[in-house]
Amino acid sequence: MAQVEHIQAEIEALSERDFARLRKWLVEKDWQRWDEQLEADVAAGKLDFLLEEAGAAKAQGKLQDM
């Protein structure tokens, strides 16, 4: 926990420009990790139920054009 508090203190000391750069990097890193997790979940079959639900909805004529 001390490491997190140290990082927080360092962030508080950043200039506006450096804080903006850090924020941009964190957002990009967060999306990258999300993408990697999604790809892993798809590869592991964890989202197959969504395809099954969509197929069933299509077969029942429940899908609508957007």
Domain boundaries along the sequence of the chain: 2-59
Q: According to the model, what pLDDT value does residue 1 have?
A: 72
Residues 30/23, Cβ–Cβ less than 8 Å: no
Rounded to an integer, what distance in angstroms lies between the CA atom of residue 56 and that of residue 63? 10
Contacts of 26 (CB under 8 A, 6+ apart): none
Rounded to an integer, what distance in angstroms lies between the CA atom of residue 29 and that of residue 17? 18
Q: According to the model, what pLDDT value does residue 26 have?
A: 98
Q: According to the model, what pLDDT value does residue 33 have?
A: 99
Q: According to the model, what pLDDT value does residue 66 have?
A: 86
pTM value is 0.70
Q: According to the model, what pLDDT value does residue 24 have?
A: 99
CB atoms within 10 A of CB 14: 13
Which segments of the chain have a pLDDT < 50?
A: none
Q: According to the model, what pLDDT value does residue 30 have?
A: 99
Q: According to the model, what pLDDT value does residue 8 have?
A: 97
